[in-house]
Amino acid sequence: MKNIYSNILKFNNSNLKKIVKYLKKGGLVGIPTETVYGLAGNAYSDTTVKKIYQIKKRPSKNPLIIHYYSLAELEKDAILNKIFFKLYKKFCPGPITFVLRKKHFSNISVHASSKLKTIAVRFPDHFIIKKILKKIPFPLAIPSANKSGGVSPTSPIDVADEFKKKLKFIINGGSCKIGLESTVVDLTGKLKILRPGYISGKKIGQVIHVKVKLNKNSKKIKSPGMLKKHYSPDIPMKLNQKKSGKDNAFITFGKNYKKTRHTFNLSKKSNLNEAAKNLYKTFRKIKKMKYKKISVVKIPNRGIGIAINDRLKHAAR
Ligand code: TXA
Ligand code: MG
């Protein structure tokens, strides 16, 4: 039988050269970050960026995050402000994305930022992606490496399962340390958190000395019928359940739930970081086991628990 995972590459110097060459030619690569695996391509190239949208089946209106190695590089593309520098100093490289005003003469493909006047940027913290970024003369546009609307991948096998052999290379960087996507903060006006993540509003507030709230608008349901699911294993899901229906997959947290063959405990020790790391892995496992329904217990809404609950809410819509 043909090895369906043969496009997963071990990370070493000769493969690093191969990857760099391939990215320079306009190729797309499955790449590990500290949050989730991404699908990386040259952010300056219209053709490459269009390929990202195509392979992910991503609506062109949903802009991409541009990943950088150095501030000097970012300065060519975005207008930086005081708050940005404070947060950069504290958290970067790390799991935080900033939405900034785009510079008029930026070389970033207009498709990557969906023709907006803003751009989302991030400095990822994983030794593999840092080595790659250091060796290429352009930043990388990197969405999570999953089909649009689905569950983000947290291992190279997940990426291969998403795109099969459509990707020539997926770099093996093991399991992602965090397991949920970066916190997205809008710095183009009054600071807003557009997507919660490992770096909480509380931690951000401590750096800039204001109380930060989650953006209310992003939670607003404009037209329920038009709501698109996100981060979703595409299985009906009920949240805040005390017990599970018969034959449902039951996602639990902590020690208070009886273990059965249908329970999937995110963290027996009630550790929210561990739960975050296990969430998408668990969704994928449950999907592979062909469950028809999922029940989830209540997850504490503090720290990264806020991000877990945000993803659960989107997945359950
Ligand atoms: O952790 C992460 O951020 C991962 C890894 C691979 O870096 N990437 C990721 O990318 O989650 P993606 O494409 O799956 O999510 C990007 C999010 C989307 O919600 C998108 O709408 C938002 O960032 N975004 C991008 N550009 C934006 C902009 N100019 N204004 C507001 N939101 C933006
Ligand atoms: Mg995504």
Burial of 104 (0-12, 13-18, 19+ CB in 10 A): exposed
Say if residue 58's pLDDT is above 50.
yes
The alpha helices in 227-304, defined as continuous H runs, are 272-288
Please tell me the distance between residue 219's alpha carbon and the centre of ligand 1 in angstroms: 16
DSSP for residue 274 = H
**Ligand 1 site: residues with CB under 6 angstroms?**
33, 35-36, 38, 62-65, 97, 99, 113, 116, 118-120, 122, 124, 142-144, 181-182, 184, 194-195
Summary mean pLDDT of the chain: 94
Say if residue 60's pLDDT is above 90.
yes
Say if residue 225's pLDDT is above 70.
no
Ligand 1 atom at minimum distance from 197 CA: 1
**Using one digit for the tens of pLDDT, what is the confidence trace for 281-297?**
999 999 999 999 999 99
Per-residue pLDDT band for 213 (boundaries 50, 70, 90) equals confident
Is residue 165 helix, strand or coil? helix
Say if residue 229's pLDDT is above 90.
no
Determine the average pLDDT of the residues in 153-169. Answer: 96
The neighbouring-strand residues paired with 294 are: 237, 249
pTM of the model as a whole:
0.95
**Number of helices (H), then strands (E), in the chain:** 9, 15
Please tell me the distance between residue 195's alpha carbon and the centre of ligand 1 in angstroms: 9
pLDDT score, position 216: 62
Least confident of 36-40, 81-85, 174-178, 254-258: 254-258
Q: What is each CA distance from 314 to 187, 226, 245, in whole angstroms? A: 24, 13, 21
N-to-C CA span, the chain: 39
β-strand pairing of 294-296 with 237-238: parallel
Please tell me the distance between residue 268's alpha carbon and the centre of ligand 1 in angstroms: 31
Determine the average pLDDT of the residues in 233-260. Answer: 94
Cα-flanking dihedrals φ and ψ of residue 46, to 5°?
-60, -45
Say if residue 299's pLDDT is above 70.
yes
Cα-flanking dihedrals φ and ψ of residue 82, to 5°?
-55, -50
β-strand pairing of 294-296 with 65-67: unpaired
pLDDT score, position 220: 42
Say if residue 233's pLDDT is above 60.
yes
Select from 184, 187, 218 the residue to mutate for testing ligand 1; criterion: most ligand atoms less than 8 Å from CB. 184
> What whole-number distance in Å separates Cα of residue 297 and Cα of residue 287?
18
Q: Of the candidates 131, 106, 126, 125, which has an alpha carbon nearest to the alpha carbon of residue 116? A: 106
> What whole-number distance in Å separates Cα of residue 117 and Cα of residue 113?
8
Determine the average pLDDT of the residues in 88-117. Answer: 96
Sheet architecture: strand order including 249-252? 237-238, 294-296, 249-252, 263-265
Please tell me the distance between residue 240's alpha carbon and the centre of ligand 2 in angstroms: 24
Say if residue 221's pLDDT is above 50.
no
> What are the residues whose beta carbon lies below 5 Å from ligand 2 (ion)?
144
Say if residue 118's pLDDT is above 90.
yes
Burial of 37 (0-12, 13-18, 19+ CB in 10 A): buried
Per-residue pLDDT band for 228 (boundaries 50, 70, 90) equals low
Is residue 97 helix, strand or coil? strand
Percent of the chain with pLDDT over 70: 95
